[in-house]
Structure 1
Amino acid sequence: MNERASLRRRILVTLGVIVLFRLGQSLPTPQVTVRAPEIGHPLRWILDLLTGGGLATLPVFAFGVLPCLAAPRLLRGLIVLIPRLAALRSEGGAGARVLARVRRRLVAGLGLLGAVGVVLTGGQDVLDGAVTVACLTAGAVLVLRLTEVITDRGFGDGVRILLLAQVLAVLPPEFLRLYERTGWAAVAVMAVVTLSTTVITIVVAQGQRRVPVQYAKRMIGRRAFGGTPSYVPFRFPQANSPAVLAAVLLSVPVLLFGLGHPGWIAGYCVLVCLFAFARAAVRQDMDKVAGELVRVGGFVPGIRPGNPTAEYLDYVNRRIIAFGALCSGVVALIPVAGLALLDVGPTPLLAGVAVQVVLVFLVSVSLDTTRQIESLRRQRRYEPFLR
C-alpha cells in the first residue's frame, strides 16, 4: 500500500508541476508586445520548441526551460576557465552544493539577459521595461524551482520533463499545418518516420555488449570469497549533439542553395556518423577499465590482464561505437529524407533535425522515467529486508 501511495504521490506532483508550467506559459506578461517570426518561417518552429510556443504573447514563462538547459553547459565552461570552480568539483558534497548555487545564479542571469533583450527590441519606456524584466526574470527562476520539485519529488529529471511538456504542446498544431499542406501523405510519412526512429533508438539505447569477467578466489580464514562470473557492459551513449552540430555546419549552404540535391542529405548523414563516433570514443577510457579490473582481481577469460585486456576492450568498444554511430546517422537521415519527400519548403534540414531531436528526446525521457519507476518499485519491495 505504501508503494502505491508513493508512486501516486510522485505522479500527482509531476502532473501538478506540468500544469503550473503550462499555465505560466499561457499567462501573458503585462505591458509588452513582440513581433514573432511568421508561422511559415523556418526559425519559428525551432523557437516554439525551445520556448513552448509563447512567441506571440510573450508569457511569464517566455523562455521555458531554455535558461535551465543553458546554465549547466555554461557552468562547465566556467569550471574549465576558473580554477576555483574546478576545485569545488573535487570537494564532494560541499562543493556540489556551492556549484548548485552558482548554477541557480546563472539561470537567473540568463533570464535577466533575455528579459533585457526583449525590452530593448520592444522599444518600451522605463517603467514598462522594468515590469517586463522583473516578470520574465522571476519566471525563469520559478521554472528552475519547478524543475527541482520534479527532480526531488516527482519522476525523472525536471528539466527534461518540462521540456517534453512544452514540446508536446507545440507538435500537434505543426502536424496539423503539415497535413493541411500535403494531405494524407504527411500522415503516412510521419508515421513511418516516427515508428522507425523510435524502434532504432530503443534498440540502440537498450542494447549492450556484455564482456564476461571472472574474479579470482581469495581465502579469508577458512572461507573462499570471489570467483563468481560477472560482465562489463558496453553501451553506445545516446546524444542529439552530433545531429545538431552537423546541421549547424550545413545550415549556411543549405539556406543559400536549398536541400534538393541528394548530396546534401548524404553529407549530413556522414557528418552525424563521424561526430557520433568521435563523441563516443573520447568519453571512454579502456586503460582505466582494465586497471580497475586488475585492482579488484578480475580478468577477461582468455585475455591476459593489463594492456592486452585494455586492447581487447578497446577493440570491442570501437566496434560497438561504429555500429551505434551508423545507427545515429540512419536515425538522423530518416526525418530529413521524409520531409524532403514531402517538399515542406527550402529548409527541410532544419525541420528534419528538429523532428529527430524531438523523437530521440521523447524516447530517452520515456526510458529514463520507466527505469526510475521500476527502481522505486524494487526499492520499496526490498526495503523491509534492509532494516
Structure 2
Amino acid sequence: MEFDFLTPIDTDLLIDIKNLSSQHLSSKVVFHTEDDFPDISKINIAIVGVPENRGAGENATTSDLSFIRKELYNLFPGNWSKIIADLGDILPGNSKEDTYFALQKVVSKLVKNKIIPIIIGGSQDLTYAIYRGYDDLEQMVNLVSIDNKFDLGKQQETISSESYFSKIIVDEPNNLFNYSNIGFQTYYNSQEEIDLMEKLFFDAYRLGEICNNLSISEPVFRDADLVSIDLNSVKSSDSGNLNNYQPNGFNGKEICSLSRYAGISDKVSSFGVFNHFSAKQESPLIAQIIWYFIEGVHYRSNEYPFGSKDNYIKYTVPLDDEDIVFYKSNKTERWWIEIPFFTNSHNKLKKNTLLPCTHDDYLAACNQEFPERWWKAQRKSII
C-alpha cells in the first residue's frame, strides 16, 4: 500500500535514459515503469523524487527532477555490487501534510526492509517527513544536516524549509537523540539560536571549521541515521544556484566529500538532497553528490553495530578522577570513545556505549582535555 504513493518514471525520460550505453549507471538501475514495479526484496538503495516545494515559500519554483535523473544516469558507476532502484516520484498532495504523510510511509517501509532511500527534493522541510518515517521503528534518531542555517524559524510559523527543525524538536513522539549541523554560517543564525544549540547539547560546526579540516565531520556522519543536505550550503559559483545567490559555502569537491562520508557510515539509513531551485544548472552537482553517496555505501566496512572487540585496540586514558576508554579499529583505523549512560529514571543503572570520535580526541584526552563530543554525550545521558 505504501508504494501506491509512487508514480512511475516519465516514459519519454525513460526512453532517453535507456538509450545510454550499457556502461552508464542507467544500465545498473531498476526503474519503476508504467508496467512494472521493482522487487524491493532484491534492492539495497532506492531513489525517490519528491517535487514538493511549498515549504520554500510563495516564490518557490517547481522542481523538475528529470534534469537530475539525466545527469545521474549519464555518469559511469564504480565497481558497485549494491542493487539500485529508481522508484519514481511522490507527487505533491492537496496539502504539504499529504505529501509528508506519503513520504513518511514510503521511507518507513524502505528502512524497515533495510533499503536506503535517497530522497531528491523538493524543499528541506521534507526532512521532517523522513524523520517521522522512523516512528514505527521504535528507535532514537540522530539527524545530521549540511546547512548554512539551523532552520529553527519562529515559534508561530507554519512548517517550512526554514523552520522544520523546530517541529522535529517539539512534536511527539520525540525520537530525536542528537542533531548535528555541518557548515552553519554565523551571520545567518541569531545568537539565541546558537545558544539554544549549546543548551540542548547539539553539535554545530561552522563552515570555516569544516573547510579547514573535512575529516572532523567523519565521526559525526558515522553516528547519523538521517542525513539532509540543503543545497544553499554550497556557494552559488559551484552549485549553479542563480535564484538564491550564496556567495559563501562549500565548494563542489567539499560537498561531494561530505556526501561520501555519509555513504561510508554503516549507520546512515536515509539520505536527502533539498532546496535546489535552478534545476538545470544545479543538476550536475546534485547528480555527483548522489554518486558519491552511493560510492560510499559500497565501501562500508560493517563496523556498526560494534560487535566483538577482538579487532580493536583498547586505550585507557586516566583523566581527573576517571578513566576514559578509546577503541581503535585494526581494519579502518577509526576511533571510538566509551560513554557511560544510565538506563533508568533514578540514574542508578550504569552502562556504556560507544561514540565515534577522531584520533585528535584521543590526543586531547592524553593532554588532560575532555573531548567536547564526550562531554556533550555524557551530559545527555544524565539529564
Instruction: Tell me the TM-score normalised to structure 2 length.
Output: 0.23
- Greater RCO, CA 8 A, separation 6+: 1
Q: Quick check: which has more Rg, 1 or 2? A: 1
Instruction: Tell me the TM-score normalised to structure 1 length.
Output: 0.23
